[in-house]
Amino acid sequence: MGENPAKNHYAQLNQGEENEMEIFGYKTQGCRKALCIAGYFLSCGALLLLFYWKPEWDVWANCIRCSLEEADVVLLRTTDEFRIYSRKTVTWISVSALIQSRLNYPATAVEDSIFSKAIMKPSLQVKSIQVQRIRYVWNIYAKQFQKVGALEDHHTCSAIHAKFGSGLTCNEWNVRKVICGPNTIDVPVIPIWKLLIKEVLNPFYVFQLFSVCLWFAEDYMEYATAIIIMSLLSIFLTVYDLRQQSVKLHRLVESHNNIMVTVCRNKEGFQELESHHLVPGDMLVLKEGKTLLPCDAILISGQCIVNESMLTGESIPVTKTHLPQADNFKPWRMHCAEDYKKHVLFCGTEVIQTKADDTGVVKAVVLRTGFNTAKGDLMRSILYPKPMNFKLYRDALRFLMCLIAFAAIGMIYTVCVFALNGEEAGEVVKKSLDVITIAVPPALPAALTTGIIYTQRRLKKKGIFCISPQRINMCGQLNLICFDKTGTLTEDGLDLWGLLPCERNCFQDIHSFPADHSLPWGPVFRAMAVCHSLIVWEGKIQGDPLDVKMFEATNWVIDDSSGHQIEGQGSTHATVVRPGPKASSAPVEGVAILHQFPFSSALQRMSVIAQEIGGEQQVFTKGAPEMVAMLCRAETVPLNFESKLLLYTAQGFRVIGLACKSLQAGKQSTDLTREEVESDLTFLGLLIMENRLKRETKPVLEELSAARIRSVMVTGDNIQTAVTVAKNAGMISPTNRVILVEANKIPGSFSASITWKPLEKNKPEDYRGLAKAMGLEPRSPRVFTSALPVEDDSPPTTERRIGLALASGQYHFAMSGKSYQIVAQHFRHLLPKLLLNGTVFARMSPGQKSSLVEEFQKLDYFVGMCGDGANDCGALKVAHAGISLSEQEASVASPFTSRTPSIACVPELIREGRAALVTSFCMFKYMALYSTIQYLGVLLLYWQLNAFGNYQFLFQDLAITTVIGVTMSFTGAYPKLVPYRPPSQLISPPLLLSVVLNILFSLSMQVFGFVVVQEQPWYSKTDIHSACLSVNNHVENSSSISSLGLRGMRDGAHGQTDNGYKSYENTTVWLLSTINCLIVALVFSKGRPFRQPIYTNYVFILVLIGQLGVCLFLVFADIDDLYSKMDLVCTPTTWRISMVIMLAVTLAASFLVEEAVIENRPLWLLLKKTFRYHSKSHYKRLQRVLEQDSAWPPLNETFFSDSVAISVEGSMGGHSNPTFDSNEDTL
């Protein structure tokens, strides 16, 4: 039964967000409910169990469709490819006790908030549902469920100051508290009984319970008991693991749930209360000293320095400034654009310093509470992980379905054989059901899990921690890795290399570091001393490594001890910098930093307002040179600015632009907007930083390149610096071409242009073209050349070289975040072509990084992302395998965390992923063969109304398969990465052929043994001792013994010695099938090229030798008691040798086929070529198309888009987390 979205019955929850869901309204119907309850009893709970697994069936059976307004039950469905359903009951919250009359709470009538829109009159009740720990209430006007626990986005900056600046009244607070619930990120420790029930109700364990009941009915006591013990062990291990995770998560959040805070109540002043009473809109007062934040809050007065390492993994203190009192109609978040998070204090972070302004207190308005906060969002991403869509897991289900279909054929065969032979109906049912338990291997999930656990353990030894084990197999498929640059490919710290000062619009001589003489006093020196966001924390200067290096070069010190009386500013907590003991003489006592506009990755700059003690106020700005130059007056920027900038960036230096201006006296620094401050600046010069490659970067990238794994750089740095680093690191080989892709919006219209420009090393034409590629907009033709660069005069040899490089596909695209955004909006059809050869993406914002990873995934790449900072958080979550280089054991932001901050972990993870993937395939193949071998043996014996004995099953299932399943996964990863990946799907021709051929070999051998044993001269159907007696010349006794034949023994005459299973066929088939399991295990345990050779797995080899020894002992030993226990009979030595020969032939055939056909890569490549098979991956298809396209890439050409742009607001988001992501609309 599907869902037809009818009017008012269907809506969308969290539209456009990562956790978007469809919601359907239903009403419980009494007669349907009664029928279902009757069904539960009649089916002995089976129907209830089915409804537990399929909540949508439960709702469809018990309820009727209705509008969401009338619904008492809602059905939710995810909008991703998994379409997972969940059922939620609608609850009612009463607020009548809080609102006795309209006068008592006048805000319910007028306040434009969800709280007033959710209260139903006259019942004064609120209708709500709780989904993934977040509460939604029914908006009676908008007719939809809306999230509560967060301040509405529509408030303007001035409205936040006006409405919430003096706090909520007691009435408002009470109503909000009841509707929102407590401000806690409550992750309770799940009781063991709950975990047990949840685990036991897993379909796999339910199937095992069915199997065990069947075995007890058939008196397979030992095996049933063994399976119970194994299952209980598996359940307890899983429950223990889940319990440990639950305890760990609980400890991670419990400290934030009860903190004493000070709030301001309207008309009632300040109050101390516990943090779980906070509601959105509350006014929080931050006191001096360290404070843990129990919610997300907007700073509305003062300044804070916060340690956000808990959320981002970056231990650099972050400066937060108060929300401006802008008087416009834009919502506050749109007004602040990407900078909004500079005003937001996030839950779970620690305030380490507060600086009050004129009001004397630091105040913040509570923005989000509970699971709506940044920390709550991260907790929910752990509690409700996004399911992984990986072919292996889909194929595993198909594989089990095939086995069940296989078992169904066996069941029909069993029913026919036993029914035709006149067996009792009960026996027929038991025997036929038994076939299912034989054909479907009960140990498969456990065996697969052990493989992943071993890999996880090996990774942990190498300093790589994993919080999402199911992604390990995915790492084996990675074929594209995105790397952040700074701190990932290059050293974290920058070294100050030089300073290029500028006076009267001319560059002066470069000042190199470390220099013999110190920097002279002047505007550039002042800029270096004050234009930063450094603080003194625990006796050390802390902050951005770039800022630290720049400040240390001045030899000044930060005096952060107390408030300073600054002329015209009143008493304020300004940071003052003073000359240190080693500093050169300066004509001032110190400089006070009055106000900061923190660094913004969208604006690519930061500014401060500073004042010399006793002097005038000045603005200092530093940032991306292209951006700083645009903010300066054209006459102060040197004419050779572009060429100088390119000279240094082309050598891989990180270049920072500096600028300043004087402020008019008498203006309060806090009243100025950022736009006013950062305009008409005077250009001061360029600060040149050296960013060295890490020692391991080049070898790792070369290893990945040799393994045909693409490397892509995604950075926030300058495009030319990024290209140079990519060349130095080996991402771009010296013979390959780099083509700059530049896209611009055409002013005054809705269209855009895109230009392809080859980047020639140190060619003057390129300097002109690069100005725009790096984001420089022309202000004056004297400073910037905006004409499109056309290389008409380039020599023919260069053209020929470019042509050759392009024809062979040896070219790389480089583009900036701005160009990427415009291409995504206006040239959507070109984006896949650009991504196919895109290697350098510079000046990328966090949201663009996430979007880029998702676009690569749309091309069917398996994408890994390796980064180290908060800016990469979204991309780390979105990628198939996100690897965070953080010193913390596990960064909450990514599935993998490497303790050593080096990209050497990337090939290590791919190696282990490939080994784990191949191990999974081996395990699948082995389990399929083991169950099929046993299944074929049993069906053969059923032909004679015989079967394997209990101990025979026990030996095969426990002593052979379980031990092999546990030890097969011990094989480590092969140290060399080969230039191809293991297959990604179970249902691939080589794998299927391997399974089918081995099944045929097993079937042939068992049938051959079964038939040939009956042709032997000593064979007797009724006398199971005839073989050994005839050998000993006791033929005359055969007739007397035959009278005590199989029938007599079944009747109980020899109850202790025979239970009806003993026969020559049984002995032959069982011994052949048991040793066949060992042969298959050996043949399938392949080593190279993805795993180490099998002989390195000592445990597995010893196990195989031991098992083979025991099996051969059973073949050749003639111990009556042992044979009697194992339901075996004595056969002549010649027949035993014949069986060994049969097994040897099977081993040889199996091994030969596996090596010569299945693992013969050249053969499969030849077959692909012969049958013209091409990869169906999107990027492979695109590659083939572009190879035929002589016009691609179009060099020195400009294309224009149609006037209609595609809105990419939704697609640019990637993983949306308020701490790290940002609104990209302003770009």
Listed residue (308, 302, 306, 307) closest to 323, CA to CA: 302
1065-to-808, 944, 1039 alpha-carbon distances in Å: 65, 9, 20
Alpha-carbon gap, residue 295 to 181, rounded angstroms: 13
ω before 469 within 30° of 0 (cis)? Answer: no
Q: Is 434 an annotated catalytic residue?
A: no
Cα 324 to its chain centre, rounded Å, is 36
CA dihedral 398, 403, 405, 410 (to 10 degrees): 180
Residue 461: what residue type?
K
Q: Which 3 state secondary structure label does DSSP give 969?
A: helix
The phi-psi region of residue 595 (left if phi > 0; otherwise alpha if psi is between -120 and 50; otherwise beta) is beta
Tokens 């890439």 sit at which residue? 1193
Measure the CA–CA gap between 888 and 38, rounded to whole angstroms: 55
Cβ contacts of 1155 within 8 Å, gap of 6 or more: none
Burial class (CB in 10 A: 0-12, 13-18, 19+), 181: buried
Between CA 763 and CA 794 the distance in angstroms is 10
- Exposure string for 263-272, b = 16+ CB within 10 A, e = fewer: bbbbeeeeee
Inter-residue contact 686 to 456 (CB < 8 Å): no
Q: Residue written as tokens 């429950």?
A: 239
Tokens 């409700």 correspond to: 384
Given a contact cutoff of 8 angstroms between Cβ atoms, the answer to whether 658 and 685 are in contact is yes
Amino acid letter for position 600: S
Q: Which helix (H) or strand (E) holds 1186?
A: helix 1178-1188
Identity of the amino acid at 1216:
S
Instruction: Give the whole-angstrom CA distance, residue 966 versus residue 960.
Output: 10
In whole angstroms, give the CA distance from residue 393 to residue 374. 31
* Identified catalytic residue from 296, 395, 434, 484: 484
Query: Under a CB-based contact definition with an 8 Å cutoff, are residues 578 and 556 in contact?
Result: yes
> Beta strand 881-885 with 896-898: parallel, antiparallel or unpaired?
parallel
CA distance 822 to 831: 10
Distance, in Å, from the CA atom of 48 to the CA atom of 60, rounded to the nearest integer, reads 14
- Compute the distance between CA of residue 957 and CA of residue 1078 in angstroms, rounded to an integer: 12
Per the CB < 8 A criterion, the answer to whether 1193 and 741 are in contact is no
How many angstroms separate the CA atoms of 388 and 832, rounded? Answer: 24
Are 109 and 103 spatial neighbours (Cβ–Cβ below 8 Å)? no
Give phi and psi for 866, each to the nearest 5: -125, 115
> For residue 616, is it left (φ>0), alpha (ψ between -120 and 50) or beta?
beta
CA distances to 257, 985, 1209 from 1226, rounded to whole Å, are: 36, 43, 11
Contact 205, 197 (CB under 8 A): no
Write the DSSP assignment of 795-856 as a string of letters: -HHHHHHHHHHHHTT-EEEEEEHHHHHHHHHH-GGGHHHHHHHEEEEES--HHHHHHHHHHH
Question: For helices 444-461 and 905-942, what crossing angle results, to 10°?
Answer: 160
Task: Report how far residue 168's alpha carbon sits from residue 170's, in angstroms, rounded to the nearest whole number.
Answer: 7
Strand order across the 291-292 sheet: 291-292, 350-355, 303-307, 318-321
Catalytic residues: 484
